Amino acid sequence: MSQACKTAILISGSGSNLQAFVDAVNAGTLDLNLTVVFSNNPNAYGLQRAELAGIATACIQHNDYPDRESFDRAVIAELDRHEPELLILAGFMRILSPGFVKHYAGRILNIHPALLPLYPGLNTHQRVLDAGDAWHGSTVHFVTEKLDGGPCILQGRLQTIAGETADELQQRVQAIEHQIYPQAAGWVGSGRVEFRDGATWIDGKRADQPETLTF
Ligand code: GRF
């Protein structure tokens, strides 16, 4: 029997996506070995979620380091004690240095609350409403040096509702995230999805469009 993929989850805040991973592993629907939860923010509620779930935690504050590179080197040293095979960015509010991305090349996933390549960056829900878009959603993608620009794996989409607020839309999108992120990570952990030649490969075929689920 193959060993479950050793996985580190990086957070800065609430950690509702982290909780979705914990719940999926506990329910037996996700075969990952969650070895450590790392935060740059000691007050992140997600650290409490990890402790409750019996997962090791680690915290290093970026303010204690003179620059991005030295902070990232400290994070690598901490994470590598746990020998992660997969890194899950789940609301980790740090831009990663090229050295960090290279160190874990093809093994870092992120979830971005938009239908990439639409709306990289922050404040996506309000921007979608302001533009009057009919569709919105969230994207799981491999992380490369380009912010919110790595190859996509899985998108979940929904239709916007006339008159809804950015907060309401965010909550609906987050509910999707809690389903698609563990699902996509499971695909990577099992080897069904790979990062190769700068692209996503699904079942041995290059996938230039992500899988899409409509909610
Ligand atoms: C998620 O909505 C995700 O799209 C973004 O950060 C948020 C993290 O939320 N990258 P949580 O900490 O998992 O609740």
Mean pLDDT of the chain: 97
For the residues 165-179, what does the mean pLDDT come to? 98
Question: Ligand 1 atom 9: the closest Cα is on which residue?
Answer: 91
**Mean local confidence (pLDDT), 22-43:** 98
Ligand 1 binding pocket mutation candidate from 22, 136, 174 (most atoms within 8 A of CB): 174
For residue 151 the two structure tokens come to 């190859």
- pLDDT tens-digit map of 178-188: 999 999 999 99
Q: Are 153 and 210 in contact (CB under 8 A)?
A: yes
pLDDT at position 3, please? 86
CA-nearest residue for atom 14, ligand 1, is 16
For residues 84 and 97, give the distance between their C-alpha atoms in angstroms, rounded to a whole number. Answer: 18
Q: In the predicted model, what is the mean pLDDT of residues 35-57?
A: 98
**Nearest atom (ligand 1) to Cα of 110:** 10
Nearest-CA residue for ligand 1 atom 5 is 91
Determine the residue of 92, 177, 179, 180 to mutate for testing ligand 1's pocket, defined as the one with the most ligand atoms within 8 A of the Cβ atom: 177
State the number of CA atoms in the 13 A half-sphere of 17 facing the CB: 29
Q: Percent of the chain, pLDDT > 90?
A: 99
Q: Is the CB of 170 under 6 A from ligand 1?
A: no
pLDDT at 1 over 50: no
pLDDT in tens, 64-96: 999 999 999 999 999 999 999 999 999 999 999
Whole-Å CA distances, 61 to 65, 95, 142, 164: 8, 14, 25, 36
Alpha-carbon distance 128 to 145, whole Å? 25
Ligand 1: which of 9, 10, 12, 16 to mutate, most ligand atoms within 8 Å of CB? Answer: 16
**Rg of the chain (C-alpha set):** 17
Tell the residue number behind the tokens 């409403």, with chain if given. 129
pLDDT tens profile 55-66: 999 999 999 999
* 67: three-class secondary structure by DSSP: coil
DSSP state of 141: E
Which uninterrupted H or E stretch holds 152? strand 152-159
Q: Per residue in 110-158, pLDDT tens?
A: 999 999 999 999 999 999 999 999 999 999 999 999 999 999 999 999 9
- The rounded Å distance from CA 12 to ligand 1 centre is 9
pLDDT of residue 126: 98
Residue 195 has pLDDT above 80, yes or no: yes
Calculate how far, in angstroms, residue 9's C-alpha sits from the geometric centre of ligand 1. Answer: 12
Q: What is the pLDDT of residues 11-21, one digit of tens each?
A: 999 999 999 99
Asked if 180 and 158 count as a contact pair (C-beta separation under 8 A), the reply is: no
Active-site annotation, residues: 112
Query: Over 70: is that where the pLDDT of 2 sits?
Result: no
3-state secondary structure of 22: helix
Report how far ligand 1's centroid is from the alpha carbon of 100 (Å).
Answer: 21
The whole model's pTM is what?
0.97
Distance CA 88, CA 14 (A): 15
The set of long-range contacts for 112-115, using a CB threshold of 8 Å and a minimum separation of 24, is 112/138, 112/139, 112/141, 112/148, 113/138, 113/170, 113/173, 113/174, 113/177, 114/138, 114/139, 115/139, 115/155, 115/157
